[in-house]
């Protein structure tokens, strides 16, 4: 699969105001930065139907899809572009896989794990925290780098 096949970009996050500027919403933050793509309007873990409906409306195949989301297994300041991978515990991605009945779509996984943490914090506890100004600057650089790669 080639990056050139991507025709639809969807970010995952949570729509409620209390989740604004949290690590779980970095996908939405990147789409805002790019001014290109669709922000899901459903809660993260229920993204599958939204994604499936958006693809059906545009008559696209899974390999035309790029999902942008946070990844607590990747350090802050890093990102990974991947295709055809398992959800690796990300419930929003797993819901998409379940609805599409395939994992053969693109994912831009934006790292949110603080590399300075001595003790590994559970993902659920970390991703709902507000992003510090310092980390926002780091994420903005990641958004720029990832956009250039795409």
Give catalytic residue positions: 24
- Distance between CA atoms of residues 131 and 145, nearest Å: 19
- Which residues make Cβ contacts (< 8 Å) with residue 132, sequence separation at least 6? none
Look at the alpha carbons of 87, 24, 105, 80 in this order and tell me if their dihedral is positive or negative: negative
Which residue is it, tokens 């994420």? Answer: 139
Q: Residue 73's closest CA among 109, 118, 107? A: 109
């Amino acid at each position: 699969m080639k990056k050139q096949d991507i025709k639809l970009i969807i970010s995952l996050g949570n729509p409620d105001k209390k989740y604004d500027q949290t690590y779980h919403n970095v996908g939405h933050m990147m789409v805002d930065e790019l001014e290109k793509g669709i922000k899901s309007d459903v809660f993260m873990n229920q993204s599958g139907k939204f994604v499936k409906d958006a693809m059906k409306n545009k008559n696209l195949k899974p390999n035309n899809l790029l999902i942008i989301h946070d990844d607590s297994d990747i350090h802050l300041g890093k990102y990974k572009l991947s295709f055809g991978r398992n959800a690796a515990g990300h419930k929003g991605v797993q819901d998409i896989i379940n609805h599409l009945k395939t994992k053969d779509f693109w994912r831009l996984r934006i790292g949110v794990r603080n590399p300075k943490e001595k003790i590994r914090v559970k993902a659920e506890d970390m991703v709902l925290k507000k992003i510090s100004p310092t980390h926002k600057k780091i994420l903005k650089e990641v958004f720029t780098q990832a956009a250039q790669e795409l």
